[in-house]
Amino acid sequence: MNAPDDPYEAYAQWAVAKGDATSVAGTPPAQRVSPRRLPRRPASGLDERWTSIDDNDIFYRESQTHAVASTMMHVHGFGLSGRYLLPTAELLGSEFHTFVPDLPGYGRSSKPRSPLDVPHLADAAARFLDDRGVERATLVGNSMGCPVICEFAHRHPDRIDRAVLVSPAGGIHNQPLGRAMVQLARDGAREPSRMIRVATSDYLRFGVPSTVRLFRTLTRYPSLERLLALRIPTLVVVGDRDPLMPGPERIREVASLTDNHVLVVVIEGAAHAINFSNPGELAHVIRSFMADRPIIDDPDSPGVTRAYEIHRGTLPPPPPERPHAA
């Protein structure tokens, strides 16, 4: 069931009242009208807005920090909207010019005529930044958002400063679909109950046919190849209770396959949706990574959980730029 403030549900009710329900249920998604109504209750302290990209209405959230801050865009996972990324995004919103869009076909954003695969989602993310007048950004993704970021870096290497890949699922460990569904069920029992409520409404909006089609495209996507080819500072964050990810030792083994810029961090006690369940710890790790500081446990969260490095690539991040002499 859609959430009570779902703009599409409001339109459907209006269409029924007008005697035009068939035009809602019987036409392709791209032809459905998507009124630009904001939620009745903001989900975070970020501003909630609409824009249009490629004839699709795009719902997004934006921080009020603009002037001198570098830009950070948060990219959601499989079948979900950006809503579950907000706890971490909001904590970082005062330090970075922050965007959290619902990509086309997800959340409140309208559906394109054909579902977007990973390369097209990466292009849509680039066009969103174009629309917002952003030349370069750091991208923070969760789950399927991580392959989208890797593809973004492959297709638009001049547009990305750094990559933060949180629980980068979508590889062979999650195949076939039945195995992935079992992993998701196990993960659901390890996430906060509030996350289940958010995910359920998002998955229902996304729909079963879209889920099957997108999973098939993910099985063909060269996730590992793209990850190891990254030539920008890259942070990978995993939870040691995440059933959708291999164990930390296997992740360290994979990250060691080549010289790279990859830094791998484990958050103890975290499952898959770290951006939602452990926002304080994740925001602390991201801040340290962005400042090129060692990853140490968050002193503001003593005894809650622990974050620690398990791999640091042989290619260090570039040194901070020094001011030019007068």
pLDDT digits 0-9 by tens, 175-231 = 666 777 777 778 777 888 888 888 888 878 887 777 777 777 777 788 888 888 898
Q: Which residue type, as a one-letter code, is found at position 46?
A: L
Give the residue, 209 or 235, on which the prediction is more confident: 235
In this prediction, residue 304 carries a pLDDT of: 66
> 72-109, pLDDT tens digit by residue?
999 999 889 999 999 999 999 999 999 999 999 999 99
Question: Residue 324 CA to chain centroid, in angstroms?
Answer: 36
Sheet arrangement for strand 160-166:
47-53, 56-62, 97-101, 71-75, 137-142, 160-166, 234-239, 262-267, 307-312
In this prediction, residue 243 carries a pLDDT of: 83
CA–CA distance, 300 with 297 (Å, rounded to integer): 9
Contact 205, 213 (CB under 8 A): no
Measured CA distances, 217 to 78, 162, 194 (Å): 12, 25, 29
CA–CA distance, 50 with 33 (Å, rounded to integer): 14
CA–CA distance, 79 with 49 (Å, rounded to integer): 21
What would the mean pLDDT of 305-311 be, rounded to a whole number?
88
Q: DSSP class of residue 256?
A: T
Sequence-ordered list of residues with C-beta below 8 angstroms from that of 159, at least 6 positions apart, any chain: 126, 129, 135, 136, 137, 152
Sequence-ordered list of residues with C-beta below 8 angstroms from that of 110, at least 6 positions apart, any chain: 29, 30, 32, 34, 56, 57, 58, 104
Contact 155, 129 (CB under 8 A): no
Average pLDDT in the chain:
81
Contact 93, 140 (CB under 8 A): no
In this prediction, residue 35 carries a pLDDT of: 61
pTM for the full predicted model:
0.82
The segment with the largest mean pLDDT, out of 51-55, 187-191, 301-305, 321-325, is: 51-55
| Phi and psi angles of residue 307, each rounded to the nearest 5 degrees, phi first | -115, 135
